[in-house]
Amino acid sequence: MEAFLVSVATISIAEIGDRTQLLSLVLSARYRRPLPIIAGILFATLANHAAAGFVGRWFGNLLNPKVLEISVGAGMIAMALWTLKPDKLDQDAMPIGAAGAFAATLTSFFMAEIGDKTQIATLALAAAYPHLLAVVAGTTLGMLVANVPVVYLGKAFADRLPLRAIHWGGSAMFVLLGALYLGRALWG
C-alpha cells in the first residue's frame, strides 16, 4: 500500500505545471471531448509507466539495497530541482491531421512522457519498491489526478492555481523523500 500511495502523491504533485498537463489543456481546448482525451491519457500513461516500471525494476534488481537507496535518494533530490523548473509546451509537438481526440491524445501523451520527470520518477519508484503493479497503478492514478481536472476545467482552472507554491511544495516533497532514502541507506 505504501508503494501505491507514495506513487500517487509523487506523480500527482510532480505533474502540476508539467508539459503533459499543458498538453492536456491544449488537447481539451482543441477537441472539446473530455472522455476520449482522458482515455488517451490513461492508456498512454499505462504503457509509458509500465515500460519505465519494468526498467526500474530490472535496474533495482542489479543493485544491492544500500546502493539502490542512495541512487533513489539522489534521484529524488534531482527531481526536487527539476520540479522547480516549469515546463513549456512545444506547439510543434502537437499532432497534425484529422486524428480523433483519443488517437491524438494517446500518441502525443506517450511521446511527451518519454524522458519526462514523471517517467523518471516512475522508474525510480519501481526500483525502490518491490510491488511493480502498485507503483504503475499509483503513478497512473497520480497522472489522472493531475490531468483530469485540467481536461474538464481547462484554462480557467489552470489560471487560478498557485503554480509557484505548488512547484516549491512538490520540490520539498522530493527533498523529503530523497532524504528518507539517503537516511535509510546511511543509517539503516
Q: Indicate the SS3 state at residue 176.
A: helix
Which one has a higher pLDDT value, 162 or 117?
117
pTM, to two decimals: 0.72
Q: What is the mean pLDDT of residues 109-123?
A: 86
Looking at residue 163, what is its pLDDT?
60
Give SS3 for 7.
helix
Least confident of 56-65, 66-75, 83-92: 83-92
In the numeric block, which cell numbers belong to residue 15? 505533474
Number of domain units in the chain: 1
Q: Looking at residue 98, what is its pLDDT?
A: 36
Judge residue 64's burial from the number of C-beta atoms within 10 Å of its C-beta, 0-12 exposed, 13-18 middle, 19 or more buried: exposed
Which position has the higher pLDDT, 98 or 117?
117
Cβ pair 22, 157 in contact under 8 A: no
- In sequence order, the 6+-apart residues with CB closer than 8 A to the CB of 29 are 154, 155
Q: Report the 10 Å Cβ neighbour count for 81.
A: 11
Distances (CA, A) of 166 to 11, 12, 37, 82, 148: 13, 11, 24, 13, 17
Domain coverage including residue 38: 2-187
Q: What is the mean pLDDT of residues 3-11?
A: 93
Query: 89, 70, 87: which is closest to 14 by C-alpha?
Result: 87
